[in-house]
Structure 1
């Protein structure tokens, strides 16, 4: 039996209601104006991704250096570039992508209520939430740790709200940072030092290990492009495989290691060289350095 128009309306409305219920707070958040303070590499990447992913949003970059501002205007004509910070009425999100050492000079020049009604997200490594709240004069502050994969929309970003940030602040921050990749909210700020090691420095550490793969491929006779392609797809496929069914790394390499086979030989060699211990030690030293820089 065909549905009547009334039946269709009721069913379709129910589908819409269910879909709306499934949406997260970040999905519902509206970010129609965003300001990125600091037009360096990560700041310009975030601004560009915000412009791409948040259709119709007004994105402004504040870059105090006249030379860098000019270069950014030429490279990203779609972005509005300013050389000094002026509060943007109704700005939903302000991303602070300044060097940590520049925070004091930036904050000292802020007008009263500079961040009125805005959610402030700092990606300045090592600058604690209590410092940000005190220097910026607002409680609506969150810290984030993105990584270089933001360039291709594949960042793993850790996001930690301050004690005065509310649910709307978190939703807006997640909405903005989802433009550069995935977002994870840890239990508290103490996790961000480990996040700096694992997330912030992770791509560089992985690339360092990857060089062993590409060097081997080159010595085996593959050209540079083929060596990189082979290595990237192996890592990409391994990550997807682990994530697809929740398999642990140990389960995966155990499953692939047939007794007396080729993979087992390689795993044994890595164990003899204590590779896993070396990686953990590298991450621990990176996290310790993060804590030192934060004072």
Structure 2
């Protein structure tokens, strides 16, 4: 199998390294097309893949093409892509907001997969939801699943419209956790701690809580109750959250993210 990646940014590079590390593809069968000289120089030093500056006819010799450019940069690349694509090639897009039908129309190409990864993929702890064109075979779905799971976990979604919700939940999700951790650390500072001490307490607590969630069969409500003693400190904090309507605010915030994802989809059409 030969794989070409269009775009040598964070996610494109993440996939390239993951494919080689997982023995999915040999370095000589992996191509990254990256227009920026500085990035090409860095990638060349790492020796992850073959490198080219621009799209050319050699792209037609690859089985899978991963489009990892910014959505706003995609249309400018379409004329060159259309010239070299072959009907047998499978295209995997990780561009936020651009639908399968839009890509099919622009590229005049049927075999399209749309995926939404998140940044923990860089460490092998990502979660990527993906959906496929209606004519995709089970073999193709299996291949895509295998490729995406080199960076963490993958989940197949039958309904493409749900990828906007995926964007809101997991695509943008890491930033929400960083935001909450940031303010927990700030609370520690305001209570008299040095920032490194507060940061260690908060980050390790978050890691430990994740492990409990991952290994327990209890519901989240039960886990909360296990920490929140009647009349205790945890209950005081939770009561403040409830009084300030934090839970509903979180839900509304994620719905705002989903709404913006849908707007981006329409703008890219």
TM-score normalised by L of structure 2 = 0.89
CA distance in 2, matches of 1:222, 1:115: 61
Cα 1:277–1:113 change in 2 (3 A) is same
Residue in 1 aligned with 2:16? 47
Aligned-pair CA distance for 1:116? 4.2
After TM superposition, the structure 1 = structure 2 runs for residues 145-156 of structure 1, keeping only pairs within 5 Å, are 145-156=116-127
Indicate conservation of the 8 Å contact 2:32/2:49, yes or no: yes
CA distance in 2, matches of 1:138, 1:126: 18
Residue in 2 aligned with 1:77? 47
After TM superposition, the structure 1 = structure 2 runs for residues 1-295 of structure 1, keeping only pairs within 5 Å, are 32-54=1-23, 56-57=25-26, 58-74=29-45, 76-86=46-56, 87-88=58-59, 91-110=62-81, 112=83, 114-295=85-266
Indicate conservation of the 8 Å contact 1:93/1:121, yes or no: yes
Cα 1:136–1:168 change in 2 (3 A) is farther
Indicate conservation of the 8 Å contact 2:16/2:48, yes or no: no
CA distance in 2, matches of 1:46, 1:135: 24
Residue correspondences, number: 263
Query: 47-56 or 125-134, which moves further after superposition?
Result: 47-56
Tell me how large the CA RMSD over aligned residues is: 2.1
Q: Deviations over 1:226-251 (max 9, x none)?
A: 43332222222222222223433222
Query: 110-119 or 124-133, which moves further after superposition?
Result: 110-119
Q: Deviations over 1:185-213 (max 9, x none)?
A: 12310101111111111001111111112
Task: Name the SS for the 1:85 alignment partner.
Answer: coil
CA distance in 2, matches of 1:150, 1:91: 24
Cα 1:85–1:247 change in 2 (3 A) is farther
TM-score normalised by L of structure 1 = 0.82
Aligned-pair CA distance for 1:133? 1.6
Larger radius of gyration: 1
Cα 1:215–1:133 change in 2 (3 A) is same
Task: Name the SS for the 2:180 alignment partner.
Answer: helix
Structure 2 unaligned spans of 5+: none
CA distance in 2, matches of 1:232, 1:61: 35
Structure 1 unaligned spans of 5+: 1-31
